[in-house]
Amino acid sequence: MQLTLFIAAAILYAVCALLPSRRGSAISAVTAVAWAVHGLALWPDIVSNGTLRVGFAFMLSAALWISVAAYWIENRNFALDGMRRMVMPCAAVAAILPPLFPGNLMPVQDQSPAFGWHVAVAVSAYSTLTIAAFHAVLMALQEARLHTKSAKKGWFTGALDQLPALLTMERLLFRMIGIGFVLLSLTVLSGVVFSEQLFGRALRWDHKNFFALLSWFLFAALLAGRRWRGWRGKTALRFTLAGFATLALAYVGSRFVFEVVLHRGFV
């Protein structure tokens, strides 16, 4: 049943990506149904019999699930059809990954109840900054589109032309980064507490913590530069993508290496 739900969610996301822009009501409806089916597929693995499923596939799938919700809400206020063309194919791939790479089950019955909040905040931070990365890529493509003389409109370029103005996109970008930075800060702080419970010391200097802190510093520098130096444009996009890349390496990238390349369990 769970496998069927994952496959159904992937198909619905793919259908949503291919629907023409003029079918706005259908796009919104299919997105909502795909999101609900995806959530039903993920739910049994969130906490089952005192265990939590961990792995790059589950984390990535959960992050894209929240990202789809963020897109759906944003798209009701702004015309972000270009975002759909990027988010939905990624969500379709992410939806089918958990059955292929199931990861491991980590016992959590002896953990503090707040541990579940730590995991939820971490996934929310990753998801919010994933949407910010999509925004940054769209802005870069949108700016490049403005400097080209070609009038050709394809499946994706037509959607770029329908995006809000760059200044509006930039405000949306920094709003998402601000929310994501707060969530990432809470993740780092709560991670210190649970690191002491799990490993006996407040801060374990491994690859996950190193890249998570590096990502935090990059986003902190970006927000500070925006506030006091007026950073925008390409500088903001570079910092956003660099921060997201290091955050991806902190968990999803490292877990992919351990699970798929090295065939190792929970680390």
Q: Print the SS3 string covering 43-105.
A: HHHHCECCEEEECHHHHHHHHHHHHHHHHHHHHCCCCCHHHHHHHHHHHHHHHHHHHHCCCEE
Q: How confident is the model at residue 75 (pLDDT cuts 50, 70, 90)?
A: confident
Q: What is the pLDDT of residues 153-173, one digit of tens each?
A: 665 666 676 777 788 888 888
Higher pLDDT, 249 or 178: 178
In contact, 14 and 37? CB cutoff 8 Å: no
Report pTM: 0.78
Q: Is the pLDDT of residue 198 over 60?
A: no
In contact, 62 and 123? CB cutoff 8 Å: yes
Which amino acid is present at 157?
T
Q: What is the pLDDT of residues 115-137, one digit of tens each?
A: 667 777 888 888 888 888 888 88
Q: Is the pLDDT of residue 264 over 70?
A: no
Ramachandran angles phi, psi of 199, nearest 5°: -120, 0
Q: Is the pLDDT of residue 218 over 90?
A: yes
Query: Which residues 6+ apart lie within 8 Å of 161 measured at CB?
Result: 145, 153
What is the average pLDDT score of the chain?
79
User: Percentage of residues in the chain with pLDDT exceeding 90?
Assistant: 17
